[in-house]
Amino acid sequence: MKYQLFFLCFLISIICFSQETNKELIQLEENLNNAATNTEKIQALLNLGEYELDHNFGKAEFILQEAFQLTQNDQNIAPKYTALVAVQLGVLHRRKGQHAIAIKQYLQALAYFEQVKDSANIADVYHNIGVLHKFQRDYKASFEYLEKAKKIHVKLSNTQGVANAMLMIGSNYKALKKSDSSKLFYTSAKKLYLAINDHKSIEKVNNYLASLYIKTGKDSLALHLNHENIARSKKNNEKLSLVTNYLSISNIYYKQKEYRIAGKYVDSAIRLSKKEGFRQKLASAYSKKSRLWYRLENYKSAYLSHRKYKKYADSLFNIENTKKLQELELQYQFEKERQEISQKTAAEATQKWLYFILFLLTLVSAILASILVRRNFKNRAKIANDKLVSEQAQKLALNEKVKVNEEETKRLIADNSMRLEFKQELLDQLKSETSNVKSLEEMKQTMNSLISKLQLQITTEKKFSSIQGKIEEVNKGFDKKLREHYPKLTKTDREICALMRLNLSIKEISTIRNSSIDAVKTARYRIRKKMNLIAGQELEYIIQSL
């Protein structure tokens, strides 16, 4: 009763999972039927074809060929879809054992993806080429392509891609009988698949681990994994995985010398491989079948199975086929280098033309600039010359005005000197005459005489008062220049400089400023020091030149 219940649960789970699988297939077919444009149809065919590659190989081939025809017949289809179809067809031909056709498809797609710098798809093609070289037993080339794919996936943070590359690298190490390295890469890949909940890929890892366990003597672990995978493969209708597990179980029973049981699993692998066209798997299955017949001492059947193995193996691994693959890869590299050289040559030619055009533009610009500079120089020279002539005319007029004012100033200074002398004489006369007055009549006459002299003095002083105005007029703008050139000069210093500009002597300046000659000399020394004049430089010359 217990086993019946277990079987019933197992049957129900298979039915449920089968329904889920059918739902996925129905959805993909519905997407194809609802495609409104050829582009949408191609994308739907690619999705459906990828699904059928693991479930119905013949149907997958039909679907991908239809997608290919669409890319050829519709000129509006983007080149990207042609490249994506080529990748899927490459996978199809690789699984059929048609490696030369597969590599041609991969290289065609790679050329486009490299042209548009599509890193994700470049990594995908590298991975597929690496797998192809693995089947060709060219492990060095396989490692190179898989490592390149892994680096790109790491850069793109694509966990799925990194795990896929590590799984294939582990498979290479297994083929090279490096079990420790192989197990390390398998377990690392499995951890990555677990992190993203990719159960389908985990099953694939289990297939590889089971094969490794067989080689390392852990038959029970291998057998357990294989039976689990067979159950999942049947649920998912994944025929390639099913063949792989049949062959893996046959290896376990072969080791245990259960040759007839092993033969049953090999026969199952052969039937399914023939139906789906898995030539690689057929070669491997017939090789195992030959060894089994030999162990059972049925040498004729062993010989016939070996001949069938050779038939399929030679078509896959013969030297001519390997040379064909190498030739196609070299041809691709040569074509790629030729295009790069052609593009570089075209770019250099374009650069030369650009440099020539830039040279001409620079030359024309230089000529125009020189013309404009020359014209500007002439205009500025003319303006400067006109300004110089105007300034010279103004200077001449100012000099004439200064001369006139100098004469007027000297005359006023002379009047001022006379006034002072007159004051002194008047003072002396006043003392003398007032001291000798004896009567009122004499006093009156004396006062009248003094009044007349004072009236004359007032007139003289009025003339003198106009000196300041004359000084300001003559030295108009001079005070501003002094402030700009010699900011340390005080107001008193600037007034003395203004009087010196009128060519007045020290005595005349002292008379006008009502100060001593020594005070004026001290002021001149102070002014020279503030102007930082050296010995031999005349103060009057510097003042006149402003």
- Summarize pLDDT for 343-370 with one digit per residue, the tens: 677 777 777 787 778 888 888 888 888 8
> Can you give the three-state secondary structure of 30-59, one letter per residue?
HHHHCCCCHHHHHHHHHHHHHHHCCCCHHH
> 298-302, 362-366, 397-401, 540-544: lowest mean pLDDT where?
397-401
DSSP code for 437: -
Confidence label for 319 from pLDDT (cuts 50, 70 and 90): very low
Number of domains, the chain: 2
Asked if the model's pLDDT at residue 416 lies above 70, the reply is no
Asked if the model's pLDDT at residue 147 lies above 80, the reply is yes
Report the 10 Å Cβ neighbour count for 509: 22
Residue of higher predicted confidence among 279 and 463: 279
- 8 A C-beta contact, residue 488 and residue 500: no
Per-residue pLDDT at 324: 54
- Summarize pLDDT for 6-43 with one digit per residue, the tens: 344 444 444 444 444 567 888 888 888 998 898 999 89
Q: Look up the pTM and report it.
A: 0.50
In a domain, 107, yes or no: no
Residue of higher predicted confidence among 287 and 462: 287
Residue 122, token pair as written in the block = 């470049």
The last residue of a domain, from among 274, 301, 317: 317
Per-residue pLDDT at 110: 92
In a domain, 16, yes or no: no
- Summarize pLDDT for 422-446 with one digit per residue, the tens: 566 666 766 666 666 666 777 777 7
Average pLDDT rounded to a whole number, residues 288-299: 88
Per-residue pLDDT at 3: 36
- 8 A C-beta contact, residue 265 and residue 249: yes
CATH of the domain at 491: 1.10.10.10
Per-residue pLDDT at 511: 76
Tell me how far CA of residue 363 lies from CA of 358, 367, 370, in angstroms.
8, 6, 10
What's the domain range around 218? 198-317
In a domain, 94, yes or no: no
In a domain, 302, yes or no: yes
In a domain, 91, yes or no: no
The last residue of a domain, from among 317, 340, 375: 317
In a domain, 144, yes or no: no
> 352-366, 380-394, 447-461: lowest mean pLDDT where?
447-461
In a domain, 312, yes or no: yes
Per-residue pLDDT at 538: 87
CATH of the domain at 212: 1.25.40.10
- Summarize pLDDT for 507-544 with one digit per residue, the tens: 888 877 778 889 999 999 999 999 888 888 888 888 88
In a domain, 65, yes or no: no
The last residue of a domain, from among 317, 349, 380: 317
Per-residue pLDDT at 415: 56
Single out the residue of 487, 484, 485, 515 nearest to residue 499, CA to CA. 515
To the nearest whole percent, how much of the chain has pLDDT over 70?
Answer: 78
Confidence label for 184 from pLDDT (cuts 50, 70 and 90): very high
Confidence label for 84 from pLDDT (cuts 50, 70 and 90): very high
